[in-house]
Structure 1
Amino acid sequence: MSVPASGSPDNQGFIAPDPDPAAAPEWLRAIAGPPAPDSGDTLSLARTLRRAMTITGKPRQAAVLVLFAGSPEPDPAAPGGLPADADVLLTQRAATMRQHRGQIAFPGGGVDPGDSGLVHTALREAEEETGLVPSGVAPLALLPALFVPPSRFDVTPVVAYWREPSPVGVVDRSETERVVRVPMAELLDPANRFLVRSGLGYKSPAFLVDNMLVWGLTGGILAGLISSAGWELEWDRSDVRDLGAALASVGMEL
């Protein structure tokens, strides 16, 4: 897959730069590359399905923005140097959406014909969904693509650092219900972590924060990055909950 050339303007007027791992603050440098294996089998299943799709048909391309914010200075007393003010940008899809309704996700979406690459796609979609200013975002790395069966998208996570955070919020309520900057401290709290098991038997890392259940592809990506970065606190991996019940506890459904 191609990425946009440095300095290449996109069709919304901002510049989509190449990913630059050197732009990462010290506490993010360990994740400017492939994530560690996640605690469940969500990501491995997505990669297996992606390999199968190369035989049965060409998936559609998409990108999501995995956007971290926080002090550029590491906290030497914290695991992986994670600063106390670190957070990640998440959205909740509208309950009226045809696919993945109500689910917690990273901002992102499908590649448009006018996009100059996957970084451009991730930034454009994030701007459309949350109103963020793309020029304040430093893309760091593209992670391996993951296949999402319901939408038949091949999703590439774009890891980035929010060096100049801008105000964000819901732009279009027909697509997005919530836009939330979730503190990493809440995601890392062992009391907020467990696994969920679907009716089909596969497991997913899960996080329960701000009355939201973060699971599936989003939960798997977060779990892998947290492990890669060395931020992880010990949590109970034997705590496996029914997915439907866990969703119902926060007013969500499959």
Structure 2
Amino acid sequence: MRFRKSTSKVTMPFHDFIHHLEQQLQLPLPGQDAHLKMASANRLRLKAQPNEKTRRSAVLILFYPYRDKIFAPLILRPKYDGVHAGQMAFPGGRYEKTDENLIRTALREAQEEIGIKAADVKVLGKLTELFIPPSNFYVLPVVGKLPYKPDFYPDPREVEAVLEVSLDELLDEGVIGRTQLEVRGVTIETPFYDIQGHKVWGATAMMISELTTLLG
């Protein structure tokens, strides 16, 4: 099932968009209300909570300009024997003791996974931390920008493909639908974003929902 199609396009220059986004990130965040719009029925029913074994992690939502459009990379995880195998995600990973904070985690992991130059990234702010029950991680979405289109060098152990997703695609309500997925033997009913033929659901979809809500 698909929802209403949006024909709006982002026409503002990259600099103006970044300025607007940076301002919005200083305001109270949409948080859980935005997350719930893209939460699976299983998540809503189970209401899982963090515990003493929950680990911290961070992802990077990275915007950059290219040919008068604004883009952010998503990655496709390889298929392996793990909770998030074959899923779409933002680059990121677990906090390490050598990281001074979770922002550093997001930058380091993005550099390791897709080869961007972390030193060139300007951090704009953070979205709301989100608990991921299947892997028992608390994940912090860090928002940043590069002033140029990066070259991507994906680590094949972590990344099967890098998708360069335009802001127009993320804001298009026509890419939102609902489906049933078979995940590790369990049927999950969930909303999703149809991004370049891939279903983006779960925590990543919930992060996108908060981002697009914030942008208004």
Instruction: For 1:169-184, list aligned pairs within 5 A.
Output: 169-171=153-155, 173-184=156-167
Residue 109 of structure 2 aligns with which residue?
Answer: 125
- Match for 1:70: what amino acid? P
Q: Mark the CA change 1:66 to 1:35 in structure 2 (over 3 Å): closer, same or farther.
A: farther
Unaligned runs of 5+ in 2: 1-16
Residue 151 of structure 1 aligns with which residue?
Answer: 135
- Match for 2:203: what amino acid? L
1:212 aligns with 2:198: yes
Q: Mark the CA change 1:35 to 1:138 in structure 2 (over 3 Å): closer, same or farther.
A: farther
Instruction: For 1:1-254, list aligned pairs within 5 A.
Output: 25-33=18-26, 34-35=29-30, 37-38=33-34, 39-41=37-39, 45=44, 49=48, 52-53=49-50, 56-70=51-65, 85-171=69-155, 173-196=156-179, 204-230=190-216
Kept in 1: contact 2:115–2:151 (CA 8 A): yes
Give, in whole Å, the separation in 1 of the partners of 2:152 and 2:76.
13
Kept in 1: contact 2:38–2:209 (CA 8 A): no
Give, in whole Å, the separation in 1 of the partners of 2:191 and 2:144.
22
Alignment TM-score, normalising by the size of structure 1: 0.66
Give, in whole Å, the separation in 1 of the partners of 2:168 and 2:121.
22
Q: Kindly, what percent of the aligned residue pairs are identical? A: 31
Question: For each residue in 1:67-93, what CA deviation from the matched residue of structure 2 results, as whole angstroms up to 9, or x when unmatched?
Answer: 12238xxxxxxxxxxx95011111010
Q: Mark the CA change 1:201 to 1:175 in structure 2 (over 3 Å): closer, same or farther.
A: closer
| Highest RCO, 1 vs 2 (Cα 8 Å, sep ≥ 6) | 2
Give, in whole Å, the separation in 1 of the partners of 2:69 and 2:134.
35
Segments of 4+ moved more than 4 angstroms: 197-204
Unaligned runs of 5+ in 1: 1-23, 72-82, 231-254
Which structure is larger by alpha-carbon Rg, 1 or 2?
1
Deviation at 1:204, TM superposition (A): 4.3
Q: Mark the CA change 1:130 to 1:104 in structure 2 (over 3 Å): closer, same or farther.
A: same
Q: Mark the CA change 1:202 to 1:177 in structure 2 (over 3 Å): closer, same or farther.
A: closer
Question: For each residue in 1:187-211, what CA deviation from the matched residue of structure 2 results, as whole angstroms up to 9, or x when unmatched?
Answer: 3333322234568897644211222
Q: Mark the CA change 1:196 to 1:138 in structure 2 (over 3 Å): closer, same or farther.
A: farther
Question: For each residue in 1:220-250, what CA deviation from the matched residue of structure 2 results, as whole angstroms up to 9, or x when unmatched?
Answer: 11012112101xxxxxxxxxxxxxxxxxxxx
Determine which structure has the larger strand proportion and give its number.
2
